[in-house]
Amino acid sequence: MDIRNLRTGLGMDVHAFAEGRKLILGGVDIPHHQGLDGHSDADVLAHAISDALLGAVRGGDIGKLFPDTDPAYKGADSLKLLAEVARYVRERGFEIIDVDSVIAAQAPKLSPHRDAMRENLARAMGVPVENVGVKATTTEHLGHEGREEGITAYATCLVCRER
Ligand SMILES: Nc1ccn([C@@H]2O[C@H](COP(=O)(O)O)[C@@H](O)[C@H]2O)c(=O)n1
Ligand SMILES: C[C@@]1(CO)OP(=O)(O)OP(=O)(O)OC[C@H]1O
């Protein structure tokens, strides 16, 4: 492998909490008194990872591929969008090597769901689960996450151009 073919990507996304919505993170339906608002299922983690991958291949961003004005994506399963992004990355000649992420959420406690999220994300991207990291942190009650107004997710990835 020629290291000059390596590319990194960085993604972040924020969604606000809303009553009467499900909380879907990494494709896991997490029990909570409120969920995240959005045009899609508002899976902020899947969106941040999608943007990291798109950034690494200079492929724009999730809103370019899946406009939030398009009724086709109303209530969309973001794991399916992530799988489409992974296919797009491969079509552009890149292999997905590694993905890491962190979710900033004051509540709920996310660590019990970590491995289920990793497995869903890995399956969607077609990579081994060992190559997908998910972490969680509170923001010590600071900012919109700390006030439980919303959740932020950050992701990085490493890809390699194969052809
Ligand atoms: N929503 C969250 C936030 C954090 N965790 C876990 O707790 C650990 C400590 O968090 P601090 O913000 O106090 O540093 C963190 O490392 C996570 O393991 C969590 O599960 N869910
Ligand atoms: C995923 C998409 C799909 O319409 O929907 P949203 O749930 O609005 O999520 P956001 O991260 O705000 O924008 C990306 C959109 O492409």
Whole-number Cα distances in Å, 111 to 77, 98, 136: 22, 20, 7
**pLDDT tens per residue across all 163 residues of the chain:** 899 999 999 999 999 999 999 999 999 999 999 999 999 999 999 999 999 999 999 999 999 999 999 999 999 999 999 999 999 999 999 999 999 999 999 999 999 999 999 999 999 999 999 999 999 999 999 999 999 999 999 999 999 999 7
Place of tokens 């994506």: 73
Is 13 known as a binding-site position? yes
Is 137 known as a binding-site position? yes
Please give the distance, rounded to the nearest whole angstrom, from the Cα atom of residue 111 to the centre of ligand 1. 7
DSSP-assigned letters across all residues of 9-31: EEEEEEEEEETT---EETTEE--
Give the residue, out of 12, 21, 24, 39, with the most ligand 2 atoms within 8 A of its beta carbon, to mutate for a pocket test: 39
**Residue 23: exposed, middle, or buried by beta-carbon count in 10 A (0-12, 13-18, 19+)?**
buried
Amino acid 1: pLDDT: 82
Model's pTM, two decimal places?
0.97
Give the residue, out of 13, 40, 50, with the most ligand 2 atoms within 8 A of its beta carbon, to mutate for a pocket test: 40
Closest by CA to 160, choosing from 68, 100, 89, 61, is 89
Amino acid 55: pLDDT: 98
Domains along the chain with CATH numbers: 3-161 (3.30.1330.50)
